[in-house]
Amino acid sequence: MTDLPAFDLEGYLPYRFTVIAAELSDGLARQYRDRFGISIAEWRVLVNVGYGESPALRDIERRVRLEKSKVSRAASRLEAKGYLRKEVDAHDRRLLRLTLTEAGAALLARLIPIAEAYQAELVGRLGPEATLLHAALDRLSPRG
């Protein structure tokens, strides 16, 4: 075996963030997958359509850091289930805009309380350190 330089993988922030993010996402995903049959990608698309301003597929890809194909497939599944509509952008025909249907809005209205309860659980686990975590994440965010 070659001699490797010392490296603290468990203390390496990008690694820790990735692992924790996956665990937290899976914790919420189990709830909406079991109750409503939607995937993590579908949840991310649905919530971004509901709380964005008729976003284009590429806007969602950038925002949620999912591959184009995953966002496109999730949007197609949501459209097939009747939760959203795809429409060609009037000003740029290369763009597909997404909008919620009434069924999509109703589903999102049922999903948001689950997400808020999960958020409250996490904030409760963190206690007063939740404010510090938000501040730290804001500093690390490229949008912050």
CATH number at residue 56: 1.10.10.10
- Domain membership of residue 91 (yes or no) is yes
- Domain membership of residue 30 (yes or no) is no
94-103 pLDDT, tens digit per residue, is 788 899 999 9
Residue 16 in tokens: 């820790």
Question: Which residues neighbour 81 within 8 Å (Cβ) at sequence distance 6 or greater?
Answer: 103
Confidence label for 1 from pLDDT (cuts 50, 70 and 90) = low
- Give pTM, 2 decimals: 0.85
32-89 pLDDT, tens digit per residue, is 999 999 999 999 999 999 997 768 888 888 888 888 899 999 999 999 999 999 988 7
C-beta atoms surrounding 85 within 10 Å: 17
pLDDT at site 144: 53
- Domain membership of residue 107 (yes or no) is yes
- Domain membership of residue 27 (yes or no) is no
128 lies in which domain range? 38-140
Provide the domain count of the chain: 1
- Domain membership of residue 26 (yes or no) is no
Q: Residue 98 pairs with which residues in a beta bridge? A: 86
**Average pLDDT of the chain to the nearest whole number:** 91
- Domain membership of residue 32 (yes or no) is no
- Domain membership of residue 11 (yes or no) is no
Q: Give the span between the Cα atoms of 114 and 112, in whole angstroms.
A: 5
- Domain membership of residue 7 (yes or no) is no
